[in-house]
Structure 1
Amino acid sequence: MDANLGRVVVTGAGGRIALTVRAGLRAEADSLVLVDQAPVTDADDNETVVEADTADLDALVKAFDGADAVVHLAALSDEAPLADLLDTNVQGTCNVLEAARRTSVPRVVLASSNRVTGGYPIHHHVFCDEPPRPDGFYGVSKVAVEALGQMYADTFGLQVVALRFGSFEEEPAETRHLATWLSPRDCVGYVRSALTAPNVNFLAVYAVSANARRFWDISVAETELGYKPVDDAARYASRFPDDDPFWHGGPQGGEYATPEALLPYLPE
């Protein structure tokens, strides 16, 4: 894609990540189309609000008409019953990809998650092409999101980038974030690069800051997307104990990967 982003649709436009992405891309896009099931009241001059749910395929088709790209951020973003995650994260993503296909939108950026591999032990350095080991039903739903992106890329020629977002925070808030933190600046950088990188079929890449203690390989983001993150959670390391039990072993997902986190959502 050209460096001018053109007309970009952002789903889940009222969410935390979307607010940062919108602010970072606004000056580079001709216009942003903000899709959210809830009212968006802070739209800028070059932003158009469309109140729609990703469950409504017809509404998505109307919203995507004439767009150059879609950044799909709408999701249930935490653990939930599997049926709810399938409806929102999986079927919603399928509707987004199908609407993009029907309206000939060439590029779709999907919000995936580091939790697709949260089951790997913390001492294992994970590469993008390793098998998924999801933590929780949420992680499972994001594995399915990536699979849908791959299928639409292979079958219909959509250009799809799945960003496995790290822990998006202004600053690290817990020990685990020394490995998983994604700064706002790097978040925008990853999304921008996912929109503009040439020669994309399907890519799934970790979107995490350049943390010295990170679990995940980020070389694919640099070689395929042209983005090298700039922030490092190490500057905040003094806030957290060196002997935190998190570093002694266990899964990369931390508390998300425990039986206690999943038990409330198992079928009754």
Structure 2
Amino acid sequence: MLSIFTTTVMGILEFSAGFLLGSMAFLAASVDALTDTFTSVMVLLGLRISERRADSHHLYGHHQAETLTSLALALALALASVRIMYSAVQGLGRSNFTPSAGLYLLSVSGIVIFSLLAREKIRIGRKLSNLSVVADGYHTLSDSLALVAVLAGLVFCRWGYPQADALVAVGISILIMWYSITLWRRIVDVFMESSPGERVMREMKELVLGMPGVRGCHELRARRVGSKIFADLHVLVEPYTSVEDAHKLTERMERLLKRKIKDLHSVVIHVEPIN
């Protein structure tokens, strides 16, 4: 909620400054900040939906809500980029913009606020292994970088190059589009059920093979669904192993894997005789 409040207030201030003082760069930065507010709301909504329990229509839960939220975020970034680019190109021929002292103060304040907010979002997102929160953090970081560019543009305008204001807005639009494309690539990986990575797969196999009674392991598969990992595997045991012992083995194996593998939500284990 603090993030939503902060980006909304800063976005309104930037828009007001850009509109009243005629700065294309500040108008572009305000669109970026207010888009950040929208995406933060979407991320919060996605997190709440993903925490719902499985039901008769969603037997595996609602974890993909996080990915759908990221999809909406990527689309919002792309649209904001195109809008900013359009406005900036229209303002390239302008030659009468002179920055005021208040714009410098707003730029520096925004850089500090957005940088601290972005750092905290990215830290929390990585801790939770949540793609949408990390993406939202990088979007907030783009707000800070945008204001760095705005500040540089103001300096050039003061030196007698008013076109720098519109050029900075163009640069901000390119930056936002780059973040959008990067996020799209990550979303595609999740929808294509990509592996959680070689390190995680190797660690899972080592844990399974290190358990007493296990003689082998094959067909180990895992995929990401939102921020969670779903896995299945086949384990080999001695032919004389009873059904009861095999069941106890898989229960111990499931508890071990869920304790050691971060974000592992579900694992299906199939037991086979070694021969």
Name the larger-Rg structure.
2
Structure showing the higher helix proportion among its residues: 2
* Fold equivalence (TM over 0.5): no
- TM-score computed with the length of structure 2 as normaliser: 0.27
Structure showing the higher strand proportion among its residues: 1
- TM-score computed with the length of structure 1 as normaliser: 0.28
